[in-house]
């Protein structure tokens, strides 16, 4: 059931991103292109694909009914994991399955936009290519905010999301009521800190691809240009540290090893430490 839930969340996320991207304007024609390439499509600006949004809503509703019917037979309890705190939803009640379906997708949506924020930060000051335009369109006005403000957004979103969830469900069957307001905000801040652990997988992937592309010629493509620009953005604050042997820059490799170590060992340790602080 958990695997099915992940697949449906991923499908719903792709529908959301497609709905957001469907109204993205066509890129301006580059100088030197043919006359045919400069002609605009008839019919004016692109319109949002509302069919994707309706299909997304249908998935969230239908899977809630499915979980309610099948989950009762399997005695399945739906988990909503915030790493330091877990919330469980009994599949014996239809309203709880609907709430779980919405919150589970909301968690994946928050994760996706956290990754987009990371890419937007790494792309600061880089030339605007197609992938960068896609990221900018998904984030909207947030993409134009200063990198420091964007870097603080995951903490703010995680903190406010957990505080809002407690205000809504605190003291109910879903969440125990916090002992005090200070304890509630301590829990919420801890969730906000843990959100940053979601940056580790894309950072590791970007650095690994950058190392491969640096030493193995794989041709020119928009994908490799994008990963290279993201890696430059990640390494830019560290470029003044002298970690070169001849013409070989050791910083990307050392940073990759450090991030893998934090991902394997540090993530669970940080979550356990924060769990001890808030309980």
E strand or H helix that includes residue 156:
helix 147-169
- Report how far residue 184's alpha carbon sits from residue 162's, in angstroms, rounded to the nearest whole number: 9
36: pLDDT confidence band, cut at 50, 70 and 90? very low
Q: Is residue 95 part of a domain?
A: yes
Residue 30: predicted pLDDT: 44
> 42-53 pLDDT, tens per residue?
444 556 678 888
8 A C-beta contact, residue 114 and residue 135 = no
Q: Is residue 32 part of a domain?
A: no
Residue 44: predicted pLDDT: 46
261: pLDDT confidence band, cut at 50, 70 and 90? confident
Q: Which domain holds residue 16?
A: 2-27+43-278
DSSP string, 201-270: HHHHHHHHHHHHHHHS-----HHHHHHHHHHHHHHGGGTTS--EETTEE-HHHHHHHHHHHIIIIIHHHH
Nearest to 175 by CA among 86, 102, 96, 94: 86
Give the number of domains in the chain: 1
8 A C-beta contact, residue 34 and residue 68 = no
Q: Which residues, at least 6 apart from 59, have a Cβ–Cβ distance to it below 8 Å?
A: 8, 11, 12, 15
Q: Is residue 227 part of a domain?
A: yes
Q: Is residue 33 part of a domain?
A: no
Q: Is residue 207 part of a domain?
A: yes
Q: How many CB atoms lie within 10 A of CB 34?
A: 8
Backbone angles phi, psi at 41, to 5 degrees: -70, 145
Q: Is residue 195 part of a domain?
A: yes
Nearest to 78 by CA among 94, 63, 67, 65: 67
Of residues 159 and 250, more confidence is placed in 159
Say whether pLDDT at 40 is over 70.
no
8 A C-beta contact, residue 78 and residue 68 = no
- For range 237-259, the mean pLDDT: 75
Backbone angles phi, psi at 90, to 5 degrees: -75, 135
Q: Is residue 36 part of a domain?
A: no
């Amino acid at each position: 059931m958990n695997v099915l839930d992940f697949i449906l969340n991923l499908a719903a996320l792709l529908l959301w991103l497609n709905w957001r991207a469907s109204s993205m304007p066509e890129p301006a024609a580059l100088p030197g292109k043919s006359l045919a390439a400069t002609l605009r499509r008839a019919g004016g600006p692109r319109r949002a694909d509302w069919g994707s949004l309706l299909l997304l809503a249908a998935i969230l509703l239908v899977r809630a009914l499915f979980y309610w019917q099948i989950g009762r037979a399997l005695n399945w309890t739906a988990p909503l994991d915030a790493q330091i705190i877990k919330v469980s939803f009994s599949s014996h009640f239809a309203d709880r399955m609907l709430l779980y379906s919405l919150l589970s997708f909301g968690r994946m949506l928050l994760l996706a936009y956290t990754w987009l924020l990371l890419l937007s930060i790494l792309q600061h000051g880089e030339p605007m290519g197609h992938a960068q335009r896609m990221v900018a369109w998904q984030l909207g006005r947030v993409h134009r905010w200063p990198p420091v403000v964007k870097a603080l957004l995951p903490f703010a979103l995680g903190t406010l999301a957990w505080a809002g969830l407690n205000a809504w469900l605190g003291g109910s069957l879903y969440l125990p009521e916090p002992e005090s307001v200070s304890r509630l905000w301590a829990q919420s801040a801890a969730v906000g800190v843990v959100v940053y652990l979601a940056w580790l997988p894309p950072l590791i992937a970007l650095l690994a691809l950058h190392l491969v592309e640096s030493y193995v010629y794989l041709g020119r493509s928009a994908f490799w240009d994008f990963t290279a620009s993201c890696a430059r953005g990640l390494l830019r604050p560290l470029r003044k540290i002298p970690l070169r042997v001849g013409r070989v820059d050791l910083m990307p490799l050392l940073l990759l090893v450090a991030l893998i170590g934090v991902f394997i060992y540090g993530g669970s340790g940080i979550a356990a430490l924060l769990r001890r602080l808030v309980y």
